[in-house]
Structure 1
Amino acid sequence: MSSDRLALITTDPAVLSGQAVIAGTRVPVSVVLDCLAAGMSPEEIVAEYLTLTSEGVQAAAVRGAAGP
């Protein structure tokens, strides 16, 4: 499951200077992790960033747990 989720994380030098983002969005993984650290639920994050899906939030959490 982790590798499937990690496939939702992309980097592209032309998008946000190569920051890791959720595929198909311009939402950086770091923003999602900050939201989770601030106590937001995945549902609240998806509601705040309409291009995200719950799978994208889970992918960010997996990436955060895996480290840089």
Structure 2
Amino acid sequence: MTQNNLLSRISIDSNICFGKPCIRGHRIWVSLILDFLASGMTVEELLEEYPGIEREDVLACIAYGAELARDCYVEIPVGKKKVVLK
């Protein structure tokens, strides 16, 4: 699947989940899926936990996060200094 096809699996509706990006047709926040992946959960574990979603939905969440990261600056503390990633 291409990046655009993956991103078509994400929806944003101000009347659903406070307008947060969700997996299309579900009330599962993209940020929730990314948090689970960041904590070490595998794609397979996510699919077991949320049987209504597909592998491509999880990949779409990752693609969405990657798109956001291209345009954002994140301050990361390193020791006592802050490093700004561009």
- TM-superposed CA distance for 1:51, in Å, is 2.0
**Distance between the aligned counterparts of 2:54 and 2:36, measured in 1?**
14
Provide the aligned length of Structure 1 versus Structure 2.
68
Residue 43 of structure 2 corresponds to residue 42 of structure 1: yes
Aligned twin of 2:27: 26
Identity %: 35
User: Please, what is the CA RMSD of the aligned residues?
Assistant: 1.1
**Distance between the aligned counterparts of 1:13 and 1:67, measured in 2?**
19
Residue 13 of structure 2 corresponds to residue 9 of structure 1: no
Name the TM-score, length of structure 1 as normaliser: 0.93
Higher Rg of the two aligned structures: 2
Q: What do residues 10-66 of structure 1 show as CA deviations (whole Å, max 9, x unaligned)?
A: 011111011000001100000000011011111111111122111100000001111
Between 1 and 2, higher relative CO (CA 8 Å, sep ≥ 6) is seen in 1
**Distance between the aligned counterparts of 2:67 and 2:56, measured in 1?**
16
What runs of 5+ residues in structure 2 fail to find an aligned partner? Answer: 70-86
Runs of 4+ with >2 A deviation: none
What runs of 5+ residues in structure 1 fail to find an aligned partner? Answer: none
* More strand, by proportion: 2
**Distance between the aligned counterparts of 1:19 and 1:65, measured in 2?**
16
